[in-house]
Amino acid sequence: MSKRSYLPVSHISKALCTRDNGDFLLKDEEGRVHRFSDERDIIIPYSIAEPYLTRCKKQCRCVEIDPEVAPSTPSNMGNMVKRRSVFSVIGEMDHGKTTLLDTFLHTSYQKQEFGGTTQIIRANDMQIPYKTASGETALHPCTFLDTPGQSCFSFIRENGSILSDLALYIVSLYEGPSEEARSIFQQMKENKTPVIVVFTKSDLVSNLRRESVKQSILELAASFHVPICFCVTHEGIEQLQQRLVELGQRQQPSVPIDCPAEATVLDSLVIPSQGIVFRALVQQGCLSLRNNFICGMYTGRVRNLIDLHSNPVQKALPGMVVNVLGARKLPAFLRKKPQLLPAGDTLFVRTPDEIKAIWDQRLLEFSFRASAGRGFE
């Protein structure tokens, strides 16, 4: 029986790096050169080391500890529950997205916004009334995500469509679709998001214009199941509500509840009296007070949870949007780097030991990316 042999890390780093004026240079798979001044600081990704170790006839195995890379599997997810419906409201600028939501919720956000334009993902929760099979009126709980319409906010808008079970695409019959409509439908096609098309401003156009715009939208949405509802102010609202409930119940996903909570951060901000605040949509599990979490390079412990009505809550279930307070400041050496607050990142609830291991791994990845091109300016 042969003895198991090992290669020291220094052997691997010397074999894969070149020298330049005392520094170590490592080229990654994309051709970028990473510079390290000390051999002890060299970071070699597994994807680069594995082919070399295979040539040396050494067995190697990668154990992922970051949940961003190694998501939960069904075997460890526990009991499943129906998540409340999440609908995104998507469209172009000034086509009436926020006005439609104002009609649903009897609010006036549109008048409060800078330039009358949505610039962040706004979340609202509501109970949609609908008729049951027996003719009784019931309420369907759901969360609405109102997304920006400008092309410069396409990342935020795409994030909203990924998070939602169903998208309401708002198009003005007066303005009609523009080239931006193609990218919107492309995003929803890639994300496999079912779509309801809602037409607005029908009182401003002729029947000929109405049919022309409708036909152009149907051609764009040919690969989608697209129920149509003409809706102007309160006109058609009940029909739209019924359609939303029917499709929402059909698309409503089952998610694990007896597992560590995970939530998608819609946006973040710093409030002097509260510190760093994450506005997050819970995806699975139950997010509770005193949960330890990691989000990007930020770690913390849930100090407060505030719902969409500005009320403190003890826990947040899947489909709820809450403000999460308790994130710690980044270490001083990271604060010197250009770090944006999380938006689109996933907040993971884990044990303190797991969080430390994940953070250490992410710091290595951050340091490796920062080493690209260092000294070549």
Q: What is the C-alpha separation between 343 and 84, in angstroms, rounded?
A: 22
The CATH number given to whatever domain includes residue 321 is 2.40.30.10
* Same domain membership, residue 135 and residue 175: yes
Is the sign of the CA dihedral 343, 345, 349, 350 positive or negative? negative
Task: Give dist(CA 37, CA 21) in Å, integer.
Answer: 9
Per-residue pLDDT of 273-304, as tens digits, reads 889 999 999 999 999 999 999 999 999 999 99
Residue 196 lies in a domain: yes
Does one domain contain both 247 and 149? yes
Instruction: Based on the fold, state whether residues 131 and 100 are members of the same structural domain.
Output: yes
Instruction: Say whether both 29 and 103 belong to one domain.
Output: no
Q: Kindly report whether the global pTM for this prediction surpasses the value 0.95.
A: no
pLDDT one-digit tens code per residue, 23-41: 999 988 888 999 998 888 8
Mean pLDDT of the chain: 79
Sign of the alpha-carbon torsion through 5, 9, 11, 12: positive
User: Looking at the structure, do residues 187 and 200 belong to the same domain, yes or no?
Assistant: yes
CA 343 to CA 135: how far, in whole Å? 43
Count of domains forming the chain = 3
Both tokens of residue 241? 């509500």
- Among residues 219, 234, 252, the one where a domain terminates is 252
Lowest-confidence region among 1-5, 110-114, 346-350: 110-114
Q: Cβ–Cβ contacts within 10 Å for residue 291, how many?
A: 21
| Confidence band, pLDDT 50/70/90 cuts, at residue 110 | very low
Q: Where are the alpha helices (DSSP H) in the chain?
A: 9-16, 46-55, 97-105, 109-112, 154-163, 180-190, 207-220, 237-251, 332-335, 352-370
CB 157 within 8 A of CB 185: no
Range of the domain at 361: 256-370
Judge contact between 256 and 79, C-beta under 8 A. Answer: yes
Domain identity same for 170 and 213: yes
- Decide if 310 is inside a domain: yes
Nearest to 184 by CA among 210, 156, 211, 212: 156
Matching residue, tokens 């993902």: 121
Last residue of a domain, one of 252, 269, 285: 252
d(CA 370, CA 297): 14
**Does residue 234 share a domain with residue 111?**
yes
Tokens 């086509």: give the residue.
95
